[in-house]
Every structure is written in C-alpha cells, then in structure tokens.
C-alpha cells in the first residue's frame, strides 16, 4: 500500500477526490450515458459516476472506462490522463 493513498488509520483510502476524467468529460461535452453507450464492454452509469467522483476503482474497471472514453471521443487517452491513482489489482 502506498502511503499517500491511506487514511489516518492506515486503511486504503477509497475517496480520492475529483478525477481528471470528470473535467475531461465536461470539456468534451460528454455525459455518463455517452460513455456507457460507446462502450463495447459491460460498464454502468454508476461505474462512470464513481470514476469522476474519485471513488477507488479496480484496474480492470479503469481500463473498461478508458476504452469507452476512447471510443466515445475517437481519441487515444491514457489511464494517467483520466485517473490520478493506480487502480486496485
């Protein structure tokens, strides 16, 4: 566990604050629905909402959301452009 991602009790912090994906979607004028609709994998509106709010996601879900954002925008973003933490394994 990395020190900056733990709370006072030494537990893994789950709420990591607003993520770059939230700003990016706003700048591009995309809704959560646009991302879900563009996905070829199984993702939900709730997953996309959690991603933007900074609720800790698994690496697998982060990649699914990344793929959906790339499909919706027809651009190539990296995980570090959408999230400021590494997802759980």
Domain ranges of the chain: 15-82
Q: Does residue 64 have a pLDDT over 70?
A: yes
1 pLDDT band, cuts 50/70/90, is very low
Name the one residue in this structure whose structure tokens are 């993520």: 19
Name the one residue in this structure whose structure tokens are 């190539």: 76
pLDDT of residue 6: 60
The region, left, alpha or beta by phi > 0 then psi within -120 to 50, assigned to residue 39 is: beta
pTM for this structure?
0.84
Contact 19, 84 (CB under 8 A): yes
Could you tell me which residue, 3 or 88, shows the higher pLDDT? 88
Q: Does residue 4 have a pLDDT over 60?
A: no
Could you tell me which residue, 88 or 46, shows the higher pLDDT? 46
- Retrieve residue 77's tokens: 């973003």
Could you tell me which residue, 16 or 81, shows the higher pLDDT? 81
Q: Does residue 7 have a pLDDT over 90?
A: no
Distance in angstroms between the alpha carbons of the first and the last residue of the chain: 12
User: Quick check: helix, strand or coil at residue 25?
Assistant: helix
Options 1.10.1740, 1.20.58, 1.10.260, 3.40.390; CATH for 15-82 is 1.10.260
Of 15, 19, 17, 71, give the one whose Cα is nearest residue 43.
71
């Amino acid at each position: 566990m990395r020190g900056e991602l733990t709370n006072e009790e030494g537990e893994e912090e789950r709420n990591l604050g607003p993520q770059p994906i939230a700003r990016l979607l706003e700048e591009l004028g995309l809704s959560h629905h646009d991302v879900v609709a563009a996905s070829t994998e199984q993702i939900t509106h709730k997953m996309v909402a959690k991603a933007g709010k900074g609720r800790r996601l698994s690496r697998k879900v982060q990649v699914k959301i990344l793929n959906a954002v790339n499909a919706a925008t027809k651009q190539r973003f990296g995980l570090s452009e959408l999230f400021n933490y590494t997802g759980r394994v």
